Structure 1
Amino acid sequence: MLSHLLEAGIVLFVSGFFIGFLSGLLGKGGGLLLIPTFWFIFPFIGIPEKIVPKAAVATSLACMTVTSSTSAWQHIKKGYLKKDIFFNLLIGAVPGVFIGSAITARLLSPEMTKLLFAIFLIFMSLKMLKKPEKGEKTEKINKRKVLLTGFASGFIAGLLGIGGGSLVTPMLYSFADVPIKVAMATSTGIVFFNSFFSVLNYIYYGLNKVNFPYFFGYVYIPVLIFMVPSLYIGTRIGVRLMHRVNSEKLRKWFAVFLIFVAFEVILKLVGGFLK
């Protein structure tokens, strides 16, 4: 098992850099790529199949605290992360996170968790393929809508093990009338708190249920050791390039990739049911 863990560590380190880079470049937390990576790696190193889905979700959230905090700090220094919008988002997100992660940790089956994740992947990939609107919002910010956006992002984050950035940015822009650049930057801050509070929930619910070595609740510690350095480096580089490179083509290719990942997950679920 130790040799498998070292081999997996190399894969995790390399993939961490690219996931971090895309997270910084696209303003995402990285959960859409982290979770499928862990679904592939965890069985390879001998982690029981019954805990793989929840362990992947929890470990993904732990990794996203690194990518999102790195991105948020870079945006704070550039002046794009607005405190008033952020704190209203946070007030709404905290209860949403605990409700969503509690449902997954205590009620949902591994198969249902995977199915919901696949559906969400398809939904978000279609939104990414849609041509974005041009221009900036100039209307007065509606705090109630910002609160609702925060709750929705927190609930989705806890339920599916993502940071919620893919949901926060379009909702802030189209639903709460927040300028697009401010929406992208502020979403990284809320992704950090969504991920952080969700991780606490998964640790709490997994302490007495996971007896496999190197686990803290549902979080698999060796992944953090191998991935955190490369995630940090990749995210910093991605954020620096975010405002310099036209990423529209990259977004479209990324969306197509997400569709393939989603259908792969669905095919594996169907195959499992047919066995």
Structure 2
Amino acid sequence: MEWIVVLLGIGLIAGAIGSVIGLGGGIIIVPALLFFSTNTDILDGITPQVAVGVSTVIMIFTGLSSTLAYMKHKTVDYKSGLIFFAGCGPGGIIGAYANKALDLHAFNVYFGSFVILVSIILMIKDRLKPLSLKENIKIRKKFVDKDGNEHTYGFNPITAIIISFAVGFCSGIFGIGGGSLIVPTMILLFLFPPHVAVATSMFIVFLSSLTNSITHITLGNVNWPYAFALIPGAWFGAKIGAFINTKLKSATLVNFLRILLLFIGLRLIIQGING
């Protein structure tokens, strides 16, 4: 029973953190599963492939739960989300197959490097100024926030699909939602309002996790008892995170997450090198 409680807790924390800032939660679930498998007797037999496979299944539920919550606040841009998914979907499938070639040590080094990259992005994104919206933007939209302020944002579909393909590849190979890269891209390059970027990112996480998980299920990478134990915590955690996102500024949580991810990334790299 101990493993069920641990997995419920991991799912709850990952779902809440992932939903608040649009990460999807996989960036917490994957290292947590690997940690408890390699350093304790609570979880057994978790390879990088299983950790990623389980994570992608959980991302379906965190993505859906968050999307349903954000729908009530009308912050999900469905059309833009589908365009980004046109790149994320194929990228995720290719990434899932690429994951087969990684053993634990190589996975730790690559995933640790990726986690540190995400941490750096979170550190510098608030210091970067969004680019101005160009005149030749093909898709241009307006959003009025709850304070009555109008925001204009937009993008060219080809650019969005190319960027999201790379994000989808990372999502498929590492089992993360991809929001850690999509959200800053939306805000800085395409001028999405932050709340719209986060909500739309979770919609993309939901869609891309469907295709990613099917691929990982086909490859036999999903431990179903572990997945079923994670799902309830991830579902309610995502709802809690979406509520926090609409009520509070998430600066404090982001600052904590920056440090946590930096620590996780360094630890994974050291484990991979010394393993």
Aligned partner of 2:251 among 238, 248, 252: 248
Aligned partner of 2:204 among 169, 190, 197: 190
Aligned residue type for 1:201: T
Deviation per residue, 1:158-216 (Å, 9 max, x gap): 121111111111112223343333221111111112222111111212xxxxxxxxxxx
Calculate the aligned-residue CA RMSD, in Å: 2.0
Q: Distance in 2 between matches of 1:15 and 1:109?
A: 24
Unaligned runs of 5+ in 1: 1-5, 206-216
Paired residues for 1:211-250 under 5 Å: 217-250=220-253
**TM-score of the aligned structures, taking structure 1 as reference length:** 0.85
Q: Secondary structure of the equivalent of 2:266? A: helix
Q: Distance in 1 between matches of 2:125 and 2:185?
A: 16
Deviation per residue, 1:99-149 (Å, 9 max, x gap): 1111112x3333222211101110110111225157886354322222223
Q: Distance in 2 between matches of 1:56 and 1:219?
A: 8
Aligned residue type for 1:170: P
Match of 1:91 in 2: 86
Aligned length: 253
Greater percentage in helix? 1
Aligned residue type for 1:118: G
Superposition deviation, residue 30 in structure 1: 0.6
Aligned residue type for 1:61: T
Superposition deviation, residue 45 in structure 1: 4.7
CA contact (8 A) 2:104 2:272 kept: no
Deviation per residue, 1:227-269 (Å, 9 max, x gap): 2112211211111111211211220111101111111112212
CA contact (8 A) 2:12 2:234 kept: yes
> Structure 1 residues 199, 154: CA separation in 2 closer, same or farther (over 3 Å shift)?
same
Q: Distance in 1 between matches of 2:99 and 2:201?
A: 23
> Structure 1 residues 240, 139: CA separation in 2 closer, same or farther (over 3 Å shift)?
closer
Match of 1:34 in 2: 29
Paired residues for 1:110-189 under 5 Å: 110-130=104-124, 132=126, 138-189=152-203
Paired residues for 1:50-61 under 5 Å: 52-61=47-56
Deviation per residue, 1:13-40 (Å, 9 max, x gap): 1232222221222222111110111112
Superposition deviation, residue 226 in structure 1: 1.8
> Structure 1 residues 179, 142: CA separation in 2 closer, same or farther (over 3 Å shift)?
farther
Superposition deviation, residue 71 in structure 1: 0.7
> Structure 1 residues 145, 12: CA separation in 2 closer, same or farther (over 3 Å shift)?
same
Q: Which has the higher contact order (CA 8 A, sep 6+)?
A: 2
**TM-score of the aligned structures, taking structure 2 as reference length:** 0.85
Q: Distance in 1 between matches of 2:16 and 2:37?
A: 23
Aligned residue type for 1:108: L
Q: Secondary structure of the equivalent of 1:219? A: coil
Aligned residue type for 1:224: A
Aligned partner of 2:69 among 69, 74, 95: 74
Is 1:47 the counterpart of 2:44 in the alignment? Answer: yes
> Structure 1 residues 176, 145: CA separation in 2 closer, same or farther (over 3 Å shift)?
farther
Q: Secondary structure of the equivalent of 1:138? A: strand
CA contact (8 A) 1:154 1:164 kept: yes
Q: Distance in 2 between matches of 1:175 and 1:263?
A: 29
Is 1:16 the counterpart of 2:19 in the alignment? Answer: no
Percent same amino acid at aligned positions? 29
